Every structure is written in C-alpha cells, then in structure tokens.
Structure 1
C-alpha cells in the first residue's frame, strides 16, 4: 500500500510486525485533551491515532495514519462505514497508534461492553474504506470482532453502542439512515474495475442488519404497497440458516443464522450462484465463499423486482437478473416505498462508477495530477432499475503530504457533474445524474 492509495489492509495481516515498530504514546502523537464526539451517556473516550511521518525527513509522503481536513465545510460527510477489526480491541488501538500501519478509523467499539474509543476527529479523513472517495466523504467505525466468527463478537452491547453512535453522527451530518449511506465495508465499491477483487467483506454475513437497522429506527418492514417493484430483504436472521465457506482460510463455516440470502442464476436451488462480473471476470459461477458478496444479498438491502415465479423472486443485480428463494408463507422480502434509478429514455446502458470525482477539465490548468473516475464493469441497462437516487457529493480531496508542502496540497476540488448513489448489487455505485431518471418506485 502507498500513502497515496490509502488502501486499508486487513489488520490481521499486519499485527505481528506492526506492534513492535514505533508505537506512539498519545503525547508523542501530538494529542491534546480532546472531547470525543459521542452521544451523551455513551461510554466513550479519546485515544488518538498516529499522525506522524515515517520516512526520511524530506519524504513528506510517507506518514500515517490519516489526513487532516476541514470536514464538513470542505468535503461533506455523506456515508458511515461499519467494519470489524479482525484483531482484539486493545491491539486495534495499538495498530492505529502506529504510523507504519497506514490505517485508521474514526471510532472503535469494544465487544464486551460497547465502550467506544474515538481515534480520528470527524473533521479529518481516516484511512479506512479502501476507496479514497469514500474515505473523504465518510466516517469509519471499527467493531471488535472477526467476520467469520461474527455472531460470537457482535454482542447486544455492541449493537446498542454502534446504533447510538450512528444515530448521533447521522443527525449531525445529515446522513440518510438507509443502506445506500449506512454501509458495511462489504458495501464499499472499488475505485476501478481492476480493484474489485481487493475489496473487503467485513462485517460479514453474521452481522444482523435487520436488528441494527431497527435500532436506528428503520426496521425492515413493509413500507409500500404489495404491488411495489421495490422490496427490502427482511429475512429473519435466526431462521435464515446458511452455510458459507471462509475461502481465505479454506474452512467451512458452520450452519448458522445469517443476514445473507443466496442468489442464483435461475429459479432453482440447483442453478449456479450468481457471478459478480467484477469478482469473476472469467465468467465462473459465483461461490458460497463469505467474501463472494456478489452471490448473496443482505437483509435490509433493497432491490427492484425483475420477475416472479412461484417460490422465487428475480431482482436486478449488477446489471443482470438474480433469483432468490421466496417461499410462500415466509417474509424473505417486504414491499417498500422509495425511489429508483432508471436509464433516461434513449440510453441503452449507463456506466457505473466507484467514485464521483470531477472531470479532468474541472481541475486547475496547473494542477499536475487530476484524478478522474473510470467506469466499473457494471452497467444499468434500458428496462432495468436500481434503488437509490440520493445525490453523491462530487469532488476530490488532494492530500499527498503530511504538512501540505506541495502546491494545492490539502485542497478539495469540487466537481460540477452531479452524481447519484445506486445499490447496484451488494456494493453501492455512482452514476451521472444526466444519464438517469430518479423516480418513485412503481406500484
């Protein structure tokens, strides 16, 4: 990882080497007495992450673990990203205090009692999402635990604390309480098509999204007419028993309750699982790997119905049809109200991006590194629709050095092109507003 990419590495992969290298005490990290930004009554303290140069004295681009900014006056905050740590709470704090670790989050939530440590000020940009655009427009919350063992770590105390924190932050920064803005790390898109395979899958299939969204006051219940084309996945966590595989460790995970509902290519359990073209560019079938999020949809996520046959519902998913089992008498999905995104008349297909950056011509003429978005492998085709429509802030935050020593350093370049957010599949994406119509879901 380079400091320019700000790609969050899996904590478990760096623990052994990181703990012995240059750990900073709060005093060395330049910490002063800071009141954490938490809701009243939540057990919360300030434990600053490292902001320290790691290279030679003249190498101002080698530093950790976040970037200073002036949010939301500069770049706005429009998303909240939930992670798991993949190491224990104390180790997480130490890693984020080590500038060699090159990662951070704004908050860390402890499993046992829901205690919260704020480690990066919300005005600043934590290196947490694996997508620089999302980093600059989001707040990251790490939760102590392991995705493959999630149900053991995701305690009632953690759910309550994280929900209180998210409600507080969403109200303060005007973040919509829906699944296009309250994301798991598994819902963050890549910045480019080539980066899809490197994206993360935490907090994983054992985070109870129905439970969490209910704590936010947005339960996964019927909110639209029975004939609505828009549905919310509302599969009961306990009853939705699924068996997945941790393919990173080559281990079969036990049958257990899950938020994830498998998606197939045809209305049959014998049909192959849906293949995310970004994860499987060779066209191979999808898998039951926990990390293969293209082959499953999560409870509390929404989708647009493409077809129905007895016992099955097809949804638009990454630009194609995907089928989920919806037996009669069960409530796997619930009709919903809301807005959907469709290609404008005459558009055969619309490109989807993982960022909402300015166009090249919108940067100053003397700026040497204009950064623009490139389409992902997904498109929205004529006749299809996807949930979403909320405006995504268009801009790029340039912050290559620790002390703003380069021209335009620590500058937010605002774009003129308007983008909207869509739930293109398990991950969100962004489309140009000029390419689509945002309309109420049909009944």
Structure 2
C-alpha cells in the first residue's frame, strides 16, 4: 500500500470499527478454524483469515470481499511475489483485511518490531493486492508494516530477515526465480492499460534496502561479466547513496538519507532535466524528485541495458528511451552482469509492451463473453534497444466476477496459447509477445 490508499484505508477504519464485534482479534490464537499458515518452520507465523463474505446483492458483480478462491498453482501458476508496505500499523492492517467492505487483502503481513508474520489468504487463493488483475492472479502479496516515506524507521533487520525467509520458502515451493523481474515491489507492478499508469503505487518506496534484501535471498550483487558489459545491475550502496526526495502528496521535503534509488537524467549532467516516465507525464513535462515518481529513478538490484557512456556517466534504455545515471569511477553504482536481454526481432521497428498477458478472444468458449485482451502501454521497445528479462510469463485470465463459483464459468482460469515474456521496461515490469522479440544471452 502507499498513500494512494491512505484515504481509502482511513475510511475503512471507520467501517472496521462498526464491525469490530464480528472481527477476529489480531491477538487471537492461530488455527482456530483448523488452518495452518504456509511458512518455513524457522519463522514466527500465525493464521488470521481475511474476510470472504457477500456484502450486497449476489446478482451484482463485486459485492463481496476480500479475495477470490482459486486452485493455484494447479489452475493459474504463481510466478511473482509482490512486496508492499501497509501505510498503517500492523494491527490496523489485520482489521482492514478482516472487513469485507474494504475489498483489499494480501496473503501475508509482516510486523516491523519483531518480524512476526501473519498469513491472511491461502496461497491457492487470489488476494486483491497488486492493482493489476493479471498480477493478482499469478502472484503472492506480502504487506510489510510501515510507511514508504518513513521507511528507514519501519524496515527493521527483523523485518528484512523474516520477509527474506518467507520469500525463499515461497520461491522454492512455486519455482519463482529470485530475480527482480519476479520479486518485485508494488512499485514494479505495471498498469493494465496506458490510462491507468497514474494510479499505480510506489511502495515499498526508495528507503527499502534492495541490496540488503536480495543478499538475504542469496543473490548479492557481484560482477558476473567483464567490464563494459551490455547488461548491468544497479548496486549503489544504500548507506552511501544519500538522496533528498520529496513527499509530493503531503508537500513535504524528506530528509537527505540513504536510499536504494538512483536519479536518472535526460543527459549526462545533473543540470539536465530528470527523466520522465511518459505514462506519468504524458504532457512531456520533466520528471520530478517526488518519492512517488519512479520514472525518474532506478532502484538498486534492478538491471538495465547500457545505451551509451560518457565520463562519469552511463546511459541505459529506460521506458523505451535513453536515461543517464551518474557512475563515478571510484563508486560502484553499477555492476557488469551476465544474463538475458530482450530485443526486437529483425525487421521490427518497435515492439508493443503490455501490462497483462491475456488470451486472445478466440481462445474463450463461444458462449462466454471474453474480457479485453489488453491494450498496449505507452512504452515500446524500438529497433536497436534491449531490456533485461526473457522469462516466460503465464498466459491466462482468471474469470471471477462474483463470489458464487457455481455459476457458468465463474472462477474459471482460461489459459492462452500465445507466449509472452517478461521485461524490465523501466522501474516497472511489462510483458511482450514472444513472437515479437529475441531473447539473447549476454555477458
């Protein structure tokens, strides 16, 4: 969650208070309903179920909360893990997810003070957490107690260790790659359409130490290719990479402090305008130093393909354009990396990028009204460009418009035949049709 959800959550608290008698207290014993949380043995973990309840006329769509039952991974594969922050305290988060009027949930919630984990939605089911239905149906969501603009206060060593243990456990169970195209923040989730870009979230924010976290997952950033490699991993040291951002939603300048985020410019100079995500700034205005403006920054442990070099600077391909970051000789801001990149096939001037990987309309039953296939985002991969990625993305749509799975096709997963691959198009991931691109190993 981020401040885009603050207003909604504040209203939710009022509703939660009205139903407090019906809610399971956060301190209640785990397993009261016979369910055991899916956690590694070494983790302090309990089970407190999120609400799953009809809230209005059953004939109306979406009059229920707070998740959808499914049969994952037998129906839809689980290929992504999404990390959030709560923007409220731990106990309040549990109350919000227990109120069916709130229409929001996550599979797990991690407490800041001691790393305690509460599971609230079974992993087989679909939590309403990512703001992208495709990602919801193919991911597990983990909420971490804290506030994105105050991350350094809330993201404790206990939280990093607990979340890392949980992610390693889930990645092993569901065969999820431990890389930044599959272990993503809420800030890495793409919109489902170009018009939805401005509504996407930015948590866990610039003060989540991705270098530290990925090292706990067993993947510390280290050179795996010679200097001058085409592919690089951002490896700026969190404590030394001090940045001053602004909480533009509150109109407050945040203190200069350690960060995972490295600013991106339109040229090899700090006097150049900050890079602008064309989805966030369709008017052509420059990027900003707002904490929520992820187009103007790249995060530690994210990868990028080098587009150009100048003394003390490196240009990368970013949202289909060149973006520059400072890379002084004696500061290890980037690390040469071996890996896979995605390039347009020969003869393709540019390749569209999507926020979903849905089947074609022809792949649904004739008596079923197929959902929209998904329109391209504003970003494209142009001839001569390349982006990290190449992992196959599941192609499918989980149809679940009501709580009643006995209705025709309700709670049905429709798998598609067209193959998509995941790319790190900018700060957010995206999906491209495999037939449009070549996946190339570089080192």
Instruction: Give the length in aligned residue pairs.
Output: 433
Distance in 2 between the 1:349 and 1:132 partners?
26
Cα RMSD (Å): 1.5
Offset of residue 60 of structure 1: 6.0
- 1:47 is aligned to 2:44: no
1:165-204 matches, cutoff 5 A: 165-204=166-205
Name the counterpart of 2:364.
363
Distance in 1 between the 2:336 and 2:102 partners?
44
Distance in 1 between the 2:163 and 2:49 partners?
19
Name the counterpart of 2:91.
90
Offset of residue 340 of structure 1: 0.2
Name the counterpart of 1:279.
280
String of CA shifts for 1:161-195, please: whole Å, max 9, x gaps. Answer: 00000000000000000000000000000000000
Distance in 1 between the 2:71 and 2:13 partners?
34
- 1:304 is aligned to 2:305: yes
Q: Aligned with 1:20: secondary structure?
A: helix
Q: Which moved more, 1:134-143 or 1:12-21?
A: 12-21
Name the counterpart of 2:220.
219
1:27-426 matches, cutoff 5 A: 32-56=33-57, 58-59=59-60, 61-426=62-427
String of CA shifts for 1:40-77, please: whole Å, max 9, x gaps. Answer: 12000000000001113544630000000000000000
String of CA shifts for 1:65-104, please: whole Å, max 9, x gaps. Answer: 0000000000000000000000000000000000011000
- 1:20 is aligned to 2:17: yes
Judge conservation of contact 1:81–1:185 (CA < 8 Å) in 2. Answer: yes
Judge conservation of contact 1:22–1:99 (CA < 8 Å) in 2. Answer: no
Distance in 2 between the 1:260 and 1:59 partners?
43
Offset of residue 16 of structure 1: 3.7
Distance in 2 between the 1:359 and 1:234 partners?
39
Name the counterpart of 1:4.
none
Offset of residue 438 of structure 1: 0.1
Q: Aligned with 1:205: secondary structure?
A: coil
Q: Aligned with 2:357: secondary structure?
A: coil
Offset of residue 15 of structure 1: 4.1
Distance in 2 between the 1:13 and 1:198 partners?
18
Distance in 2 between the 1:70 and 1:433 partners?
27
Q: Residues 222 and 18 (structure 1 numbering): CA distance in 2 closer, same or farther, change over 3 Å?
A: farther
Q: Aligned with 1:38: secondary structure?
A: coil
Distance in 1 between the 2:11 and 2:297 partners?
29
For structure 2, the 5+ residue unaligned runs are 26-30
